[in-house]
Amino acid sequence: MHTDDLNTHHGIDQQLMFITGEHGVTLINISNEHATATISMQGAQVLSWKPKKAGHADKEVIWVSEAADFTPGQSVRGGIPVCWPWFGAHKTESEWPSHGFARTTIWQINSTVTLDDGSTRVTFTMEPDDSNAHMWPPHTSVLLQITIGQKLELELVTHNNGNESITISQAFHTYFFVEDVTRVYLHGLDDTDYLDKLDGYARKHQKGVVTVNEEIDRIYLDTATDCVIEDRSLNRNIIIIKCGSHSTVVWNPWKDTAEIMGDLGDSGYLTMLCVETANAADDTVVIEPGKDHHLWVQFDVQGGSHKDE
């Protein structure tokens, strides 16, 4: 649908507008009493969220690389890519795209609405098309609800309409903006086991907070609890609360891998940290016929230091 038609049917006066972004990709700009945000129709991918909270006014929470490639069909380096219906490499089909196809597919708008508290909710659906139909889990529908308010909420609902169970893995692969990743303390993963991708997925044990001074790529197992990204340089905590996820991925490519990847920018790795709300590794989701699975996450920002470990 053209942006004029989208604005006619789904625009909200003074609050939500569809515009044409770089390379013709449609973007949604939202500005309400609580926050501003940008979402791309490709991947239904949040690219920006700035809560208007006292002490945090207009400070970006979501990181997007200065070298991100917005060419349609390319995954954008940053924001909140939705990995679906698998996380990482596909188990059997090595040619199929890493992290699934949801992040490079154009989603459709189901509805846009202003909630009673002034937040803005956008609901997306994704349909099988020529590019993804052969990879689509049979008889499955998917819906993503994004709520832009003082807090940012995402809910991904996968419904099994068929007669046989389906199995998926998935993630909100969120890139958080931090002032200086070497001064960030990630709370909430103390005393848990993780698979270290950089060491052949060896199982290791986390003691205390997670800090980042080198490349890190880990899947934390059996982790359903809240996480807090304590950013000492910004004097800001990002609180991550989730549901329907029992794994948490923590990733920063650091300098050498960033250089190889090529779309992280010159020193982008120093100002980002991925903390991903996931169903990854053995935490796959089996959805029985007629049932659905909800992957839900909420982000909130607060000031000050964080003490729990």
Nearer to ligand TA6, 18 or 84 (CB): 84
Q: Does 98 bind ligand TA6 (CB under 6 A)?
A: yes
Of residues 190-229, which lie at the interface with ligand TA6 (CB under 6 A)? 197, 217
Q: Does 75 bind ligand TA6 (CB under 6 A)?
A: yes
Q: Does 99 bind ligand TA6 (CB under 6 A)?
A: yes
Nearer to ligand TA6, 184 or 274 (CB): 274
Query: Terminus-to-terminus CA distance in the chain, angstroms?
Result: 50
Which helix (H) or strand (E) element contains residue 3?
helix 3-10
Helix (H, G, I), strand (E, B) or coil at 22: helix
Q: Does 249 bind ligand TA6 (CB under 6 A)?
A: yes
Q: Does 173 bind ligand TA6 (CB under 6 A)?
A: yes
Nearer to ligand TA6, 120 or 170 (CB): 170
Residue 243 beta carbon to ligand TA6: minimum distance, rounded to whole angstroms: 20
Nearer to ligand TA6, 96 or 296 (CB): 96
Q: Does 251 bind ligand TA6 (CB under 6 A)?
A: yes
The single-letter code of the amino acid at 232 is R
Q: Does 88 bind ligand TA6 (CB under 6 A)?
A: yes
Of residues 105-164, which lie at the interface with ligand TA6 (CB under 6 A)? none
Nearer to ligand TA6, 98 or 235 (CB): 98
- The gap from C-alpha 218 to its chain's centroid, in whole angstroms, comes to 16
Residue 264 beta carbon to ligand TA6: minimum distance, rounded to whole angstroms: 10
Separation in Å, CA 144 to CA 7, 76, 107, 200, 270: 20, 18, 9, 33, 30
Nearer to ligand TA6, 11 or 88 (CB): 88
How many Å apart are CA 196 and CA 77, to the nearest integer?
Answer: 22
E strands, 188-246, in order? 193-196, 202-205, 216-221, 227-231, 236-243
Tell me, by CB under 6 A, how many residues bind ligand TA6.
11
How many Å apart are CA 280 and CA 222, to the nearest integer?
Answer: 10
Q: Does 96 bind ligand TA6 (CB under 6 A)?
A: no
Q: Does 300 bind ligand TA6 (CB under 6 A)?
A: no
Residue 268 beta carbon to ligand TA6: minimum distance, rounded to whole angstroms: 13
State the Cα angle at 109 between 122 and 72, rounded to 5°: 110
Of residues 257-276, which lie at the interface with ligand TA6 (CB under 6 A)? 274, 276
With tokens 């040619």, the residue in question is: 95
Burial annotation 196-232 (CB, 10 A radius, 16+ → b, else e) = ebeeeeeeeebeebbebeebbbbbbbebeeebbbbbb
Residue 18 beta carbon to ligand TA6: minimum distance, rounded to whole angstroms: 26
Residue 198 beta carbon to ligand TA6: minimum distance, rounded to whole angstroms: 9
Length of the chain: 309
State the Cα angle at 10 between 7 and 11, rounded to 5°: 50
Task: List residues with catalytic annotation.
Answer: 173, 276
Residue 250 beta carbon to ligand TA6: minimum distance, rounded to whole angstroms: 8
The residue ranges that bind ligand TA6 (CB under 6 A) are: 75, 88, 98-99, 173, 197, 217, 249, 251, 274, 276
